[in-house]
Amino acid sequence: MWSILRYAAHRRFLTRLTRTLLVKNIHTLVTMDEQRREIRNASILAEGPAITQVGPTALLPDHADEVLDLKGRYIVLPGLVNTHHHFYQTLTRAVPGAQSCELFDWLRKLYPIWSHLEASGVYVSAQMAAAELMLSGCTTSSDHLYLFPNDCTLDDEIRALADIGMRFHASRGSMSVGESQGGLPPDALVEAESKILKDSQRLIERYHDESRYAMTRMTLAPCSPFSVSPDLMRESALLARCHPGVRLHTHLAESATDLAYSRERFRMTPGEYAESLGWVGHDVWHAHCVHLDDVAMRRFAETGTGVAHCPTSNMRLGSGIAPIKRMLLKGVRVGLGVDGAASNDGTNMLHEARLACLLARAGDCDPTAMDPRTALELATRGGAAVLGRDDIGRLAPGTCADFVALDIDQPQFAGAGWDLVAALVLAQPDEVSYSFINGRRVVDRGRLVTADLALLVERTQEAAAAMAAKV
């Protein structure tokens, strides 16, 4: 009897894997493939988690197990890839006293509040952030959780993202150098390095999936030069590199105070410090890099080291303007990140692409510094490269069935028929109508189908209020 039940379950599993999905009559399909094709009146066919065909509707089959007819009124693009975030900060948006601070003061104001984070808050804030990301076109996100007070573990965040159905690159972040040792965070928020490394090993063994179409991958992410020791940076790199596909991530050269700390404490620029620790390479990406010098940019390009560009956060904290055009000209891999909701206050990847485009122009006093399609490429292919994946960020046979559709009849596209692809970035559409992740419909007619959004908002408010009550 048991074997019959197991066989039936196995058949159901296989059927789900091989289920076909056809999305047809797309007005404009932005493939971000090798030729960067934009196809009019197009269709996508997927089987299980993977795309099998992309092309003009007339050339693709007309039937599938699941069919979505977009009737020529939607633009479809690869799901956006978010390369830097701190989901838990969704509980501390717009905190009074931290609304107009530079990085170090901003952190000093928020650490005492964050010390009241609990496991239930980790779970609900991760789902809230994921919901906002999914509704704004993101299908893969990384996150950097680096403090574990009370009963918090990374497991809660990974469970939250699995439950809501988003592709996730989880980071076991860490802080080990407290105020008494010359670091920035309070001593109560740092962990012993031996405990950090042991937990990192556990999480890699439990969750890291190296396979193609993987929904969960692991990253090790000591927080920043001013909150961990060089030893922990080296040991984390050694541990990650024992496990194929496990990546390394940290904050680097974010602000003037960050730069001054590196010079004073390590007698090195942030770029020199990263290189001295072995923190360059195809398996490494750094957040921000606002104050990266040309020597470091060249080394990043030579070694394949990636950068997560977070324009909103850099503006919010007055950190400066990252030299993205120079990085791209030198060949550095660049993706986009919304960064934590405490230094962005929003979590919208489409808005982030727009700001990346506009900020590059403002920084260089040059309207040609970044065109809208480059911004879109950073948000898709760029992010995929930074996360070390060739199965997302583009739509072609053999890639993940991760794509989103926007209604071209919404107000933001009115009058933008001249160039709908550019309008995706310039005209600031807010939300997608449909989103598919691994071939599964997770947003349908603008509604998140994998979680109750109203309930999520309510629980997020409650978790934030519970933290506020303890401060």
Which residues, numbered 321-380, are part of the site for Zn ion (CB under 5 A)?
339
Residue 181, Cβ density class (10 Å: 0-12 exposed, 13-18 middle, ≥19 buried): exposed
Closest approach of Cβ 60 to Zn ion, in Å? Answer: 42
- Give the three-state DSSP class for 306: strand
Closest approach of Cβ 459 to Zn ion, in Å? Answer: 24
**Interface map 283-322 toward Zn ion (x if CB under 5 A):** ----------------------------------------
- Taking the least distance from each CB to Zn ion, the nearer of 88 and 123 is 88
- # chain residues binding Zn ion, by CB under 5 A: 1
- Taking the least distance from each CB to Zn ion, the nearer of 193 and 339 is 339
- Taking the least distance from each CB to Zn ion, the nearer of 174 and 374 is 174
Closest approach of Cβ 87 to Zn ion, in Å? Answer: 11
Residue nearest to Zn ion (CB): 339
Which is it for the CA torsion 124, 129, 133, 138, positive or negative?
Answer: negative
Which residues, numbered 231-270, are part of the site for Zn ion (CB under 5 A)?
none
- CB distance 339 to 84 below 8 Å: yes
Which residues, numbered 158-187, are part of the site for Zn ion (CB under 5 A)?
none
Closest approach of Cβ 302 to Zn ion, in Å? Answer: 25
Residues 26, 28, 30, 35: what is their CA dihedral angle, to the nearest 10 degrees? 110
Closest approach of Cβ 398 to Zn ion, in Å? Answer: 33
**Interface map 70-99 toward Zn ion (x if CB under 5 A):** ------------------------------
Closest approach of Cβ 83 to Zn ion, in Å? Answer: 11
- Taking the least distance from each CB to Zn ion, the nearer of 161 and 289 is 289
- Taking the least distance from each CB to Zn ion, the nearer of 339 and 407 is 339
Q: How far apart are CA 83 and CA 337, in angstroms?
A: 5
Element (H, E) at 252: strand 247-252
CA angle 95, 359, 291 (to 5 degrees): 80
Closest approach of Cβ 288 to Zn ion, in Å? Answer: 7
Beta bridge pairs of residue 141? 82, 168
- Taking the least distance from each CB to Zn ion, the nearer of 305 and 399 is 305
How far CA 93 is from CA of 118, 197, 314, 465, in Å, comes to 17, 30, 16, 12
Alpha helices by DSSP H, 241-348: 256-266, 270-276, 294-303, 311-316, 324-330
Closest approach of Cβ 255 to Zn ion, in Å? Answer: 11
- Taking the least distance from each CB to Zn ion, the nearer of 292 and 424 is 292
Closest approach of Cβ 343 to Zn ion, in Å? Answer: 7
- Taking the least distance from each CB to Zn ion, the nearer of 31 and 176 is 176
- CB distance 253 to 290 below 8 Å: yes
- CB distance 346 to 359 below 8 Å: no
- CB distance 145 to 154 below 8 Å: yes
- Taking the least distance from each CB to Zn ion, the nearer of 33 and 105 is 105
- CB distance 136 to 152 below 8 Å: no
Q: How far apart are CA 397 and CA 154, in angstroms?
A: 34
State the DSSP code for 5. Answer: H
- Taking the least distance from each CB to Zn ion, the nearer of 235 and 339 is 339
- CA-closest candidate to residue 405, choices 433, 371, 380, 438: 433
Closest approach of Cβ 310 to Zn ion, in Å? Answer: 7
- CA-closest candidate to residue 17, choices 81, 78, 65, 79: 65
Interface residues with Zn ion (CB under 5 A) are 339
